[in-house]
Structure 1
């Protein structure tokens, strides 16, 4: 590769050219200060409408609070409560109650209807509303499952027969003294009710569109300037943006959507949302000339940046392209294709690192091939070594048959127990065995010890689980019974007892070994129980003298490695002997995995 002119490095080159480009951009940008003015003006207009929207939202919350108080007063009214009782109201009281709802503390009520729990309807004198009209209207569905909350909903007037869209206020009316079925109260509000909310916007509505949307995205009310129209598509965009925003309060603050900027405030209680939509025309007033200037400036900047970028990219990417080509064409076999770069930049170091990488890969492949050869040799040796256990079993069987011919009963028992013990201890290399095999293993060990120590002890096994289908880490019981024989019975000559118990409790497996020999010393019990709280790395240091406690450390270490911190081993010493207990966590996934290992 031809040697280029020496420079200070690729980073310094890049910074030099970038600085020149940015200097030009800053010089040209100084002519476009109008951009700053545009941002300030736009932000001021948006902030003004955000404030207006928040004021409308607060008015909406206050109006809902008034409606909630008004309906609450209706519920507590004596005649309303009397109408819910079994006896109901007299005719005069019924007429009076029908007129009462016209004077509740809520303005702009166009019509009303109250239905008690006996199907009696109370409405205006000229309204011909029946109980069937109420049930057919479907308005009860809007009240939902709430016990007694005020509900606002925008719906077609199928109750009073006008068939026009309107805002309705509804609420269940329940007895305060008796557990009766509730009544229902509905107020139909006229347009002035919602106009009062947007009326707080004042003169600002002459420039922007304001409106109210219900929980279903329906436009309940809108006020739009004469020269501007929302249109169905824009209404759909506004409804979609409001529906996908927060739950309550200012859910949209100057959100840009096609055609303008949207702000919205949702009242959590009523579910309605008020919004203001400022069209782009209002935002862009007075700034169009500034945009023309900025457009011209940035066209020049873009053109200059494009020319400079093409020029400099050709200079800087040529060595990079050479590196990429070498890497892409590397097929994993040709290690002689190295890269020689002389750019006096960091690219030279990359090329050198690539060359070293090729050498490392070549050495690694050679090492892998050598390891594969060694692995095949190890596998062959392993297959040969597997013959040895079978030879041992066959030899023990032969000795057993000779003892049987010579009628050596004790020798036969001992050989048979030793053979079972060895077969179960090896377990085909598996760490996990069934409880049945583990108990069979420890029984074989105990039978050998009984032959060696005649009349020293007897043993009993109690298994309260499905031993054939419950798994456990192998060789966890044998060290415990060995300690019982070796240390528990060291001071006695006969009458020893060993009891092995297996059970499940609260999803955990317990294995317990009890002996009635000399109780374990208190400090030893404390050390053993304390190991459950130690990290794995510190447990081996609990018993510096390996002659004491080594088997216990081995058991707990293996349990923790297999089952995690949920496994535990603890001892309890009493006057009548010592009890050692192993706790193993159980789970469907763990047991399925262990059963699969056993089958393998």
Structure 2
């Protein structure tokens, strides 16, 4: 008892030491992890924001390139140039240009309107009701001159109320460019209005957090896009956006935001993304979860360390206890390492000596049991077939007396093959095919005795014909069917022998259309019903199967009075297995 108390105190001191050391380690590693992982997550957040803004910006660039290509195709359309340079109006040219406008609008669902204005004030558009500042000399109109000064490249303007349409509540992005003649002279101006929704769609995947936002300004610091329309009219809010663009990009610790810009190469636009504080909150939560996980792992390591140190003292006894438990679950050859203190070494040595003696005795018992089983099987073999030989010889003598030499030869050959298969070269096992051939020879001989009163069929699944089984299993069953089922019938008898596999088991079935019997009237259990029905022969087969494969295999009978009997031999599927003993 005193040593046990001392041991408990020692284990407590060891546990206290290791837990204290683990707590100190946890604090040190916590500070290190917090600093390093904070930096990693901050860089990751910056990288994520940059990728999101760059991705949305590149999508807008691709769309702008597409719009530029569309405007170039329209402005350089030969029919349009001929229409605007002609002094008189050509109806066919006008129809051709209007058809081109309709095709252009159909190619892009975001194109709201296409307006073509000639130098002398003629208009071609998909909209019939336009409110535009027009004159016979369009060079006097400021918006017209601005489009001309842009040269041959399209000019992207900021978001505005649509000036040229009657529907003034639609926000649009307008693209304008000059229409030049064959000599480069101005003949008109092209205006394409794009729905404002197109920018919202392209920036919909810009994930900047719950309070984050993105906006677009041009090189004149004018707002092109913001999800809040008030930024287009409020000068103070516009100044706030301009200060964001002018500030240093990256992480702003004062505002607790992440900012990144993307300059569109094919326009005078700058896309700005401002990530909100909720992204930083995610980083802090991830850091906290990481810290807790590391702390938990350290405590687990500390606990395992305590168990390991305490286990070094009791390990030899625990190993011996485990060995005894394994012996209780199933006797097997086990040795224990002779380590630890002197008492533990001595105990392990005596245990190993005892196990060696037990295993030696078990081996001797096993060898004796195998010898006894082999002797039982040999004795059972000797009980098979002697009466059949006498009956067959009587049949041969009877046919010889009637000078039926041909039948005598056939029966003699069948009898010779029957006994050759019975002997099977001294082997205890044979194939399913040979066993069926053995029964075939037997039934051939018996049919010579029964004549038209007996018919038979033998069938086997091809894939199981080479399986190994104990020999002379089916002949006693078939003999039982003849003598107890078919003999004495007023109608012709029929026997069917079938070999098949089912649920990873080999089934050998013998069916007859004999008299049958009522199993329920027999005062025996289901497993014993086959033993008393055919005398020594069928009982012999059941015992041999159980000796080979164990009590879970054997013979099962299903019989109906007046309809016949089915005897099923259930065996395991074994391929070329010579170690057949259970």
* TM-score normalised by structure 2 residue count: 0.38
Q: Which has the larger radius of gyration?
A: 2
